[in-house]
Amino acid sequence: MHYARIVSNLRLGYDIIHMAEYVTLTTNRKAFHNYFLEEKYEAGIMLLGTEIKSLRSGRVNMGDAYVKPQRGELWLVNAHISAYECSGHTSHEPMRERKLLMHRKEIVLLMSKVKEKGLTLIPVRIYLKNDIAKVELSLGRGKKLYDKRDTVTKRDTERELEREVKYRNFRR
């Protein structure tokens, strides 16, 4: 999987290869279904060499992942990064806890918000920013069952309206 685009420079007469600034590797779709997401934060993630290679090949699953505070640090738990095929016997454990890298003040602020307001920290997506792996964290409030039903019905009605508009424009 390559994340490059070619930009032609007509004045100089050659093509320049630019790496994409943000490349989303995976998103936590369950987070959008189960939580009202409020504020977003960016955190680095401490990975091994085989983990970053598996990440780049898209072999990651964040379905049940969550963030756990422990001794003033944040840890990403239950994120499954598959073992890298070419690593042999020196591969990593797929379900290990991974340390998240943030400034101390940000961690203290997040932990105070989680304690006071009853919010939870949820990993929303993993992406590459200038070839460095990052995790987007979000403060979320849990949805009730009726909230989930409301969002599904709203989404369905919006899709129906879009189909009608598209069909009307197509018929003309």
User: Which domains does the chain possess?
Assistant: 22-146 (2.40.280.10)
Determine the pLDDT at residue 17. 47
Question: Which amino acid is residue 154, in one-letter code?
Answer: K
Determine the pLDDT at residue 5. 52
Average pLDDT, the chain: 79
The pLDDT of 19-46, averaged and rounded, is 81
Please report, in angstroms and rounded to a whole number, the separation of the first and last CA atoms in the chain.
41
Residue 132 has pLDDT above 90, yes or no: no
Q: How does residue 35 score in pLDDT terms, banded at 50, 70 and 90?
A: confident
Q: How does residue 6 score in pLDDT terms, banded at 50, 70 and 90?
A: very low
Question: Which amino acid is residue 47, in one-letter code?
Answer: L
Question: Which amino acid is residue 112, in one-letter code?
Answer: S
Higher pLDDT, 31 or 12: 31
Distance, CA of 40 to CA of 124 (rounded, Å): 9
Q: How does residue 4 score in pLDDT terms, banded at 50, 70 and 90?
A: low
Distance, CA of 86 to CA of 49 (rounded, Å): 12
Distance, CA of 137 to CA of 27 (rounded, Å): 11
Closest CA to 74 of 102, 94, 93: 102
pLDDT tens-digit readout, 52-89: 887 887 788 888 888 888 888 889 888 888 777 776 66
Determine the pLDDT at residue 123. 92
Distance, CA of 128 to CA of 56 (rounded, Å): 9
Coil, strand, or helix at residue 24?
strand
